[in-house]
């Protein structure tokens, strides 16, 4: 772990490796007038600039259809920064230096002439690295990716091999199913090598998610317990208090399985369960993640009925606020069968994890927003304390709190002070904030820095995306044509449908609510 006295090293030193000096480059954001740019990308670049982590020279070019000048775009972004910056107030000196590197190029993604104009703008930066080293951020609809990649290639801005480097950054959703992901990946790699494509899952940029590998493989106490001999089962929870709100149109096409399980949940699972990589090089880490995903036991439609639970919220209260049912949300069909909750029991058919259930759940309008992984260890033989505890001696559990209250908690049993032999579970907590101070870079800062540096470790490889879709497609096949049953509805503000409790009860397990650390 890096000393928090040196926050720049914390971000720049990727898992202890020295970072090469970054080369000057130009970042082109397609979709620069949109929400993602104002809310995430520009605040992240601003902070990289503030922390002196950007290359010695850089430009950021925004591309979109709306009429703007360089100056009006900068003013809009400055106002957005007041709202979205993680540090306040905005440092005017840093902003002035940063803003001088921003320029706007108006154009339609479908118009070849607009790319010619973009090419001329980039050439006006000189014939060196600002023209040759190009990071293209596609903050647009995935259906536009193929067109953009083709046009930037034809405009002479993207090459598989040639002067400088060019990379493409894309966001989820990476397709809708395996077939569409395959087609999208073909589009992305038509004029670029796979290693020029950075697929972002912002979960992988989170400090706590990065710490999973560090924690597992640098602590002998836990490393030797991380297998079927010691672990009884694993629970991964990603819960949200928000409903679908204004995103009903998108959600009707996606649902919880595509929106959360295909990407964030399976990514967290692969980091928790993968084998140690031979090195921390990007390909070694990603090879192990893919191997893990491929070891997940395939689900037949009958398995889906037994091992997967979907749910949909009806009207209820979340934190004292009334919430409409999903079918009453805007742009949602009144008889929609789309799931706003999903719980899975996955089995991993490899030597380490044989017969250990991995339970994953995610949902909207749940009582708490939290992401955590709970490793439930096997209990000790219930011999010594049977008189005090009956059959209820709690087993040890390790909880990785990914957000909020980032940290790790270990639960073990302790003697209740006094003359009797009472035993009860107690906890030890590690908290990032208490240990390292409140220095937490946004996931996007780290991911953008890695994209500029060309380190692919934190980006999802094509085969990872496609293997995850295979799993998700098999679940959707199991659901095909089957409407939701009564047992699959849950009131907004509760922990999901009863069927999800039954899923764990099959093996005598129960869901644990995410920890609240005071």
- Show the tokens assigned to 166: 């060019």
For 284-295, the three-class secondary structure string (H helix, E strand, C coil) is: HHHHHHHHHHHH
Here the tokens at position 10 are 């914390």
Angstrom distance (rounded) from CA 138 to CA 197: 11
Report helix angle 145-154 to 178-188, nearest 10.
10
Minimum CB separation of residue 135 from ligand NAP in Å reads 16
**Residues 487 and 305: beta-carbon distance below 8 Å:** no
The CB-of-33 to ligand NAP minimum distance in angstroms stands at 4
Give the integer Cα–Cα distance in Å for 373 and 360. Answer: 9
Q: Give me the least distance between CB of 22 and ligand NAP, in Å please.
A: 24
Separation CA 476–CA 454 (nearest Å): 35
Q: 265 near 361, Cβ under 8 Å?
A: no
- Can you tell me the distance from the alpha carbon of 340 to that of 489, in angstroms, rounded to the nearest whole number? 10
Q: Of 476, 295, 262, which Cα lies nearest the Cα of 362?
A: 262
With contact defined as beta carbons under 8 Å apart, do 488 and 500 qualify?
Answer: no
Distances (CA, A) of 352 to 196, 378, 452: 33, 15, 36
109 vs 503, beta carbon nearer ligand NAP = 109
H helices present in 112-204, as ranges: 112-123, 129-132, 145-154, 178-188
Residue with Cβ nearer ligand NAP (64 or 468): 64
Catalytic residue among 14, 159, 264, 429: 264
Report the residue number, 142 or 497, with the smaller CB distance to ligand NAP. Answer: 142
Nearer to ligand NAP, 31 or 205 (CB): 31
DSSP state of 243: -
Cβ distance to ligand NAP smaller for residue 171 or 445: 171
Residue 261: CB minimum distance to ligand NAP, A: 16
At its nearest, how many Å lie between ligand NAP and the CB of residue 144? Answer: 6
The residue whose Cβ lies closest to ligand NAP is 34
Nearest approach, Cβ of residue 478 and ligand NAP (Å): 27
Judged by beta carbon, residue 58 or residue 115, the one nearer ligand NAP is: 115
By CB neighbour count within 10 A (0-12 exposed, 13-18 middle, 19+ buried), where does 96 fall?
Answer: exposed
Q: Which is nearer to ligand NAP, 36 or 315 (CB)?
A: 36
Known active-site residue 264: yes
Q: Which of 227, 225, 149 is nearest to 183 (CA)?
A: 149
Binding positions for ligand NAP, rule: CB under 6 A = 31-36, 39-40, 64-66, 108-110, 139-142, 171-172
CB half-sphere exposure, 496, CA atoms < 13 A = 30
CA-CA-CA-CA torsion sign (181, 169, 248, 204): positive
CA distance 9 to 471: 38
CB under 8 Å to 189, separation ≥6 — which residues?
Answer: 197, 462
Cβ closest to ligand NAP, residue 109 vs residue 152: 109
Residue 110: count other Cβ atoms within 10 Å of its Cβ: 11
CB 409, min distance to ligand NAP, A: 30
Per residue, the 3-state secondary structure of 46-84, as one string, reads HHHHHCCCCCCCEEEEEEECCCCCHHHHHHHHHHHHHHH
Instruction: Indicate the residue among 73 and 313 with the shorter CB distance to ligand NAP.
Output: 73
CB of 421 to ligand NAP, least distance (A): 54
What residues are annotated to the active site?
Answer: 264
């Amino acid at each position: 772990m890096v000393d928090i006295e040196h926050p720049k090293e914390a971000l720049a030193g990727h898992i202890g490796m020295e970072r090469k000096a970054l080369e000057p480059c130009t970042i082109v954001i397609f979709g620069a007038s949109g929400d993602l740019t104002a809310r995430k990308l520009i605040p992240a670049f601003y902070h990289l600039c503030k922390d002196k982590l950007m290359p010695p020279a850089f430009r950021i070019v925004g591309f979109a259809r709306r009429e703007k000048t360089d100056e009006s775009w900068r003013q809009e972004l400055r106002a957005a920064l007041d709202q979205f910056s993680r540090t306040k107030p905005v440092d005017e000196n840093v902003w002035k230096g940063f803003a001088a590197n921003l320029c706007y190029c108006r154009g339609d993604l479908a118009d070849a002439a607009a790319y010619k104009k973009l090419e001329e703008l980039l050439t006006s930066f000189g014939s060196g690295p600002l023209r040759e080293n190009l990071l293209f951020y596609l903050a647009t609809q995935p259906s536009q990716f193929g067109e953009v990649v083709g046009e930037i290639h034809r405009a002479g801005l993207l090459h598989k091999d040639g002067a400088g480097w060019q990379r493409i950054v894309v966001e989820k959703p990476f397709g809708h199913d395996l077939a569409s992901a395959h087609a999208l990946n073909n589009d992305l790699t038509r004029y670029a090598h796979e290693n020029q494509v950075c697929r972002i899952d912002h979960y992988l940029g989170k400090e706590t998610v990065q710490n999973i590998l560090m924690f597992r493989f640098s602590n002998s106490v836990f490393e030797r317990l991380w297998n079927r001999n010691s672990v009884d089962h694993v629970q991964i929870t990603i819960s949200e208090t928000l409903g679908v709100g204004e995103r009903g149109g998108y959600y009707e096409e996606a649902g919880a399985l595509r929106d959360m399980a295909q990407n964030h949940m399976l990514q967290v699972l692969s980091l928790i369960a993968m084998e140690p990589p031979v090195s921390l090089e990007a390909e070694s880490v990603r090879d192990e993640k893919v191997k893990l995903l491929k070891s997940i036991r395939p689900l037949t439609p009958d398995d889906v009925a037994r091992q997967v639970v979907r749910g949909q919220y009806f009207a209820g209260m979340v934190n004292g606020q009334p919430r409409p049912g999903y079918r009453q949300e805007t742009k949602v069909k009144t008889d929609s069968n789309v799931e706003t909750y999903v719980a899975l029991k996955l089995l991993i058919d490899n030597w380490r994890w044989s017969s250990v259930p991995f339970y994953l759940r995610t949902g909207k309008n749940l009582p708490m927003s939290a992401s955590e992984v709970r490793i439930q260890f096997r209990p000790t033989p219930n011999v010594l304390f049977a008189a005090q505890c009956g059959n209820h001696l709690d087993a040890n559990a390790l909880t990785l709190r990914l957000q909020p209250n980032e940290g790790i908690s270990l639960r073990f049993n302790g003697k209740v002070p006094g003359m009797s032999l009472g035993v009860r579970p107690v906890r030890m907590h590690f908290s990032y904030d208490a240990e390292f101070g409140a220095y937490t870079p946004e996931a996007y800062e780290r991911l953008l820095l890695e994209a500029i540096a060309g380190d692919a470790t934190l980006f999802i490889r094509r085969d990872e995306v496609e293997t995850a879709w295979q799993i998700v497609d098999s679940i959707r096949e199991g659901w095909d044509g089957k409407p939701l049953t009564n047992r699959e509805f849950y009131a907004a503000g509760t922990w999901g449908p009863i069927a999800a409790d039954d899923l764990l009860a099959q093996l005598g397990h129960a869901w644990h609510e995410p920890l609240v650390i005071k």
